[in-house]
Amino acid sequence: MSLLDQIDQIRSTFMEELYSISSSKDVERMRIHYFGKKGTIASLMRFLRDATPEDRPNLGKIINDTKEELSSHLENTQKRLLIQERQHRFAKEAIDVTLPAEPFRLGIEHPVQKVLQEVVAIFSSFGFSVGLAPDLDTEHYNFTGLNFAEDHPAKDMQDTFYFPKDYLLRTHTSNVQVHLMENQKPPMKIIAPGKCFRNETVSSRSHVFFHQIEGFYIDQNVCFTELLELMRAFWPKLFGTKVKVRFRPSYFPFVEPGLEVDIACTQCQSQGCKLCKYTGWLEVAGAGMIHPNVLDQAKIDSEVYQGYAFGIGVERIAMLLYGIEDIRTFSRNDPRVFEQVALKYSSVL
């Protein structure tokens, strides 16, 4: 077969192959096969060896031209395939910016925590500073130091969680009073948020675990009307200026006189509803003038100093502010519920 016939044959199989390949790897394979040291084009060199010296330059040129022609086809195909492959890869990696995003959960502040912070912030603006006492405490701080009689029913195992060695879980935040009175000197103006525990049957309205905010002020010449004025000033700050406040006489061993603070039902505006048990009022705090026995036990002279104290129930307030009907919602800790609450009431707190 002559060189030209051979070249025609090579060209046609080359072109056929070139059209059938689909990846840049195939191009590399063809490059070695045709243009490699022992490749198809190299094998044409034998025609040069056998040719006469006159024909040799001409044949050499034909072989070179063929080589250039075929390799430029190969380069073009290589470029096309590389572009295609890149497009394919991009298409696979592409991000569809129109797809709805996965919800991003930032976490949400617990409604009880929000109320605690808000209440503390309001009392801070009234000049109170934050004090704390342990949740796991002793009978002395939770009861005896607060003038509870030895046989007071609250001390019963049914109400209080007792632990070995005289320990108990505090049933109210009033233990803060005793701790701080023993360690500090008046004047004292303290606000103390914290957890409390009572051995109660869990229901939609009561729980074994809840929060209170204790406040007290001890100084010379502290009077009862100051306490009433403080309560009248505080509740509108939390519930809005329209909220009405009323006081009822009540009994707590550690205050005298003692009272209970009610606000007009925020749900029915005192018309009477299920929430306020058709009384039109909601109980939100206990308060009173600190009993002289409490001061004297803590070695604060009750002839010189007086004080008032109050304790606010936190869950009740969070339920009112956020329209939560079941106190167990707070301990179920479902972030979706808290998110909904936050969205619905973002304007409240």
Applying CB under 6 A, the residues found at the interface with ligand PHE are 172, 174, 252, 255, 258, 286-288, 309-311
With H, G, I as helix, E, B as strand and everything else as coil, classify residue 194: strand
Which CB sits closer to ligand PHE, 47 or 252?
Answer: 252
Closest CA to 188 of 200, 177, 203, 198: 177
**Shortest distance in whole angstroms from residue 175 CB to ligand PHE:** 9
**Shortest distance in whole angstroms from residue 295 CB to ligand PHE:** 13
Give 48-53 contacts, CB < 8 A, sequence gap 24+. Answer: none
How far separated are the first and last CA of the chain, in Å rounded? 96
Q: What's the rounded Cα separation, in Å, for the pair 272 and 297? A: 43
Q: What's the rounded Cα separation, in Å, for the pair 281 and 276? A: 6
**Shortest distance in whole angstroms from residue 311 CB to ligand PHE:** 3
Closest CA to 239 of 325, 348, 312, 326: 348
Peptide bond into 257 cis (omega under 30): yes
Which CB sits closer to ligand PHE, 264 or 309?
Answer: 309
Per this entry, what is the length of the chain?
A: 349
Which CB sits closer to ligand PHE, 40 or 142?
Answer: 142
**Shortest distance in whole angstroms from residue 187 CB to ligand PHE:** 18
Give the contacts of 6 (CB within 8 A, at least 6 positions apart): 44, 47
Which CB sits closer to ligand PHE, 160 or 266?
Answer: 160
**Shortest distance in whole angstroms from residue 309 CB to ligand PHE:** 4
Q: What's the rounded Cα separation, in Å, for the pair 226 and 113? A: 28
**Shortest distance in whole angstroms from residue 98 CB to ligand PHE:** 57
Q: What's the rounded Cα separation, in Å, for the pair 249 and 288? A: 9
Q: What's the rounded Cα separation, in Å, for the pair 294 and 289? A: 11
Residues paired with residue 273 on neighbouring β-strands, in sequence order: none
Which CB sits closer to ligand PHE, 141 or 252?
Answer: 252
Which CB sits closer to ligand PHE, 118 or 283?
Answer: 283
Which CB sits closer to ligand PHE, 181 or 309?
Answer: 309
**Shortest distance in whole angstroms from residue 213 CB to ligand PHE:** 10
